[in-house]
Each structure stands twice: as structure tokens, then as C-alpha cells.
Amino acid sequence: MKIEECELHNGQVRLSLISFGASIRSFETPDKEGVFGPVHLSLDSVEQYQDAALNPYLGASVGRYANRIAGARFPLDGTVVELTPNEGDNQLHGGPAGFGRRNWELLSKEHTPAGGSVTFGLESQDGDQGFPGNLRGRVTYELAGDTLRITYFAATDAATVVNLTNHGYWNLDGDSTIFGHRLRIDADQVLPVDEAGIPAGTLQEVQNTVFDFRERTTLGDAFKSRPSGFDHCFKLNGVSGKLRFAAQVDSPSSGRWMRIRTDQPAVQLYSGNGLGAPFTQHGALCLETQMFPDTPNHPELGSAVLRPGQEYRSVTELQFGVSEYESASS
């Protein structure tokens, strides 16, 4: 297996991408002193990304269905689709050989003064991890100045479900934990889940709960109320399908901030609860823009169905800067 590696850089961002999992391998931005440093978890060698014990989907493009599907099954057009489970009885991130565990094809790369772009493609056959339909997927990473735009596309020859996201692991200090980071999520509602991460009820208001990140909140304070951490999906405010502000995280220590905009209906906050060697527990957070977990079994949460002749498209923008938090989040 030949894993391709591509670099995009400008005066504001240094980015490395690899074809395995169509992943972000490394990401560097300057801190408040102007010194470039890492803001994303990475492994020492490209080969290590193939080891699932070392690689918890680091910066990977996960699918065919990101997040969890209960019982590894769902109904589709009158038929029950049986999937390959990989987290107990459930399926997580598309199964044991989901998109984040596959080597994508490098389709194109372009360097520009502003940064450039890289596109990876993947063909998923009918029955892959149990999913119906031959699916063609594609992701384009486009760097322009201080912003990385990630766009996913997919098309199918038979009805199926699709939910793709980037599983970035962010630490704006480059080391230690995220307890000193501050987080804001533009969401009035959160989806309650059981211990397995499966939806356990209808959307609930975040007001007067530990899930209220509508105002900038220090994560260390949030952990005091919830020591186990977070692995929850928030319903973003605004109109799904339109690019809008979703979340922002900043670190007083490094002065760095990251702002996220997306056209997706929700964002999954994962606080690195399961991170282990070579990393540190709670050593990064993930903000995965996506559809809700187990949507194929919960029509009230929307539809993840993609049919022949339709195009799946998802856009997320990550913007990076230093200090000036208030003006950046307006």
C-alpha cells in the first residue's frame, strides 16, 4: 500500500494530508508570539496510521456513516439493512473497514500562493460493511489564507445512507490537555445518548445544563460537572444546508483560536475521553460536523438517504487566528 502525503502551506497555516483515511496528518499555526506549532494530534510515521490501536481516526474522513448506527441495522425502503458491527452490537464510523481505515486515491493537488487544494477519492462497493449501493466518494481540502475548507461529495447507483465528516483532533496548545481551552457552540439543543452513545430520547434544551456552551465556557469547568467528558451531538442553530457559524474554541495560553462554519445540521463534541498512548486522555477535542447519530433509525432527526441521481455534499470551514476572540466570533 502506497500512502500519498501532500503538504499545503502559506504564511498562516502549514498542513499535511495523507491518502490513508483521506486524513489531516499535521496542522501548524502561529501562536501569540508568532511561533508556528502543532494544533492537531499526529503519529510519528505515516505507516502508524494503518494501526487502529494507535490511530483513533486521527483527522480522518469517516463514513460511509459517521458516528453510530444502533444494532448495526436500519430500515431502507421496506428492507432491513444489516451492517458489520465494530463497537459491540453497534456500528461506529462505517464499520471495521470504514472510510477512515482505507487508503484513498489521490486525485489532484494544486499549490497556490494562498495555499492550494488536494482531492482524494474512494470507491465503496455494494455491500461494503453491509451498506447497499456502489458509492463514489470524494473530499477536497482547500487552503486559502487562514481558512481550510473541507468539502465532501458522494454519488450512488442504489439507495443508501451517507454521512461523512472529518474527525480532527485539536489541541491549540500543542500539548497537555484541553482543560484550559474555552469553547462556544451555537446550539440550543443536544441529543441525549445512552452509555453506548446511541440516542436515548428526543432533543433536549441545553439551558441550565452542563451542555450549555452558548457562551464561551472553559472546558476544565465543564469537566467538573461532567468528569467523564463529552461525546454528544448538538443541533446547530440556523438553517441546515446553509453555511453558518457552528463553534469556536480558543486557548488563552497560546492565544490561538479556531472557528468552525458548516452547512451540516449538527456537530459532535468529543473530548478525547478514550485517548491513550501515545496520546494523553483529554489531550484533544473533536468537533465533527455531521448528521445525528443513528439518523437512519430516527426519521424525526432527518434523512441520511442518498438515491441515484442525487449528490451528497457537505461543507465545513475551519478558520484559525490569534487573540482578537471577540471580533473573530462575531
Distances (CA, A) of 93 to 52, 155, 222, 250, 270: 13, 18, 26, 27, 14
CATH code, domain with 133:
2.70.98.10
| Domain ranges, residue 134 | 5-328
* CB atoms near residue 255 (< 10 Å): 19
Q: Where are the beta strands (DSSP E) in 168-255?
A: 182-185, 187-191, 204-205, 217-218, 231-236, 244-250
Is residue 182 pLDDT above 60, yes or no? Answer: yes
Distance CA 304, CA 296 (A): 6
Assess contact for 107 and 80: CB atoms under 8 A. no
Residues annotated as catalytic (active site), given as ranges: 167, 288
Concatenate the DSSP letters of all residues of 234-250 into one string. EEESS-TTS-EEEEEEE
Tell me the average pLDDT across 116-128: 98
Tell me the average pLDDT across 300-319: 98
Nearest to 236 by CA among 222, 221, 246, 249: 246
Domain tally for the chain?
1
Q: What is the pLDDT of residues 24-75, one digit of tens each?
A: 999 999 999 999 999 999 999 999 999 999 999 999 999 999 999 999 999 9
Tell me the average pLDDT across 316-330: 73
* Average pLDDT score over the chain: 96
Q: What is the pLDDT of residues 91-109, one digit of tens each?
A: 999 999 999 999 999 999 9
Distance CA 130, CA 162 (A): 13
Tell me the average pLDDT across 266-284: 97
Which pLDDT value is given to residue 324? 60
Is residue 235 pLDDT above 60, yes or no? Answer: yes
**How do 14-18 and 5-9 pair as beta strands?**
antiparallel
Nearest to 22 by CA among 127, 109, 110: 109
Residue 49 is classified by DSSP as: G
Q: Grid coordinates in use for 248? A: 469556536
Which pLDDT value is given to residue 330? 38
Is residue 166 pLDDT above 70, yes or no? Answer: yes
Is residue 327 pLDDT above 70, yes or no? Answer: no
Assess contact for 213 and 249: CB atoms under 8 A. no
Q: Grid coordinates in use for 265? A: 445540521
Distance CA 20, CA 18 (A): 6
Nearest to 196 by CA among 85, 278, 59, 76: 85
Assess contact for 236 and 266: CB atoms under 8 A. yes
- Cα angle: 10, vertex 145, 25; to 5 degrees: 60
Distances (CA, A) of 69 to 144, 147, 180, 185: 35, 32, 33, 24
Is residue 209 pLDDT above 60, yes or no? Answer: yes
User: In the chain, what's the furthest Cα-to-Cα distance?
Assistant: 59
SS3 content of the chain, % helix, strand, coil (to 5): 10, 45, 45
Which pLDDT value is given to residue 323? 86
Is residue 328 pLDDT above 60, yes or no? Answer: no
Distances (CA, A) of 145 to 9, 10, 35, 228, 270: 9, 7, 17, 37, 27
Q: Where are the beta strands (DSSP E) in 71-146?
A: 73-76, 79-82, 91-92, 105-112, 115-124, 135-144
Tell me the average pLDDT across 308-325: 92
Distance CA 148, CA 178 (A): 22
Which pLDDT value is given to residue 263? 98
Strand partners, 69: 91
Which pLDDT value is given to residue 251? 98
Tell me the average pLDDT across 199-221: 97
Is residue 295 pLDDT above 50, yes or no? Answer: yes
